[in-house]
Amino acid sequence: MADLNFSITMFYLKSHLFYTENMTKIGLFYGPTEGNVEKVAKLIASKIGNVDLVKVKEVDADVFDKYDNIILGISTLGKHTWSSDNEGNDWDQFLPKLNGADLKGKKVAIFGLGDHIAYADFFVDAMGELFEVVKETGATVIGGVSNEGYEYNESRAFVNGKFVGLPIDEDFEDDLTEERVDNWLKIILPEMK
């Protein structure tokens, strides 16, 4: 019986590579749903373990009150949708709720999805826009990433020599996603204890 318990414990620890028992619960908020952002959000949650996974379209900004550590996931829509009515976008609905929120004392990490081939001039721009809104709330934004290994022309998410969060390209570099997530978690989780 002891061997079985040990095996179960080892499986749990391997599947939750980054979770530590003393870590406070993290709120991971993402949108849109049913696509690559949700896929990456679930990957991150599976690696941390102690996470509430929340669709941003289903909450108000006061939900952040119960978390000291927050991860936000967003995608950059293609240029073809920028001139259209975009009110169905989860973040377009939520960002007005975030304006004026008080997140002082909270740590926020952001990941953003984008397409570095078709939208090289706008790579993960939405992550940069979300960063600007979060900064205004008084939160401490953590998890900046070097642009080494990324190919793109321009990005509003590249500020002061690094990305403001984790850029992911599931369209053309999905083979790099897990390694990038693992490296990013090594940066943010020590700050989220």
pLDDT digits (tens, 9 = 90+) for 151-175: 999 999 999 999 999 999 999 999 9
What's the pTM value of the predicted model, to 2 decimals?
A: 0.86
Separation CA 137–CA 134 (nearest Å)? 5
Are residues 44 and 30 in contact, defined by beta-carbon separation less than 8 angstroms? no
Q: What is the mean pLDDT of residues 45-61?
A: 93
- The H or E element containing residue 98 is helix 90-98
Three-class DSSP category at 174 = helix
User: What would the pLDDT profile of 82-131 be if each residue is shown by its tens digit?
Assistant: 444 445 578 888 988 888 899 999 999 999 999 999 999 999 999 999 99
Look up tokens 């909270």; give the residue: 106
Are residues 119 and 136 in contact, defined by beta-carbon separation less than 8 angstroms? no
Domains and CATH numbers, the chain: 25-192 (3.40.50.360)
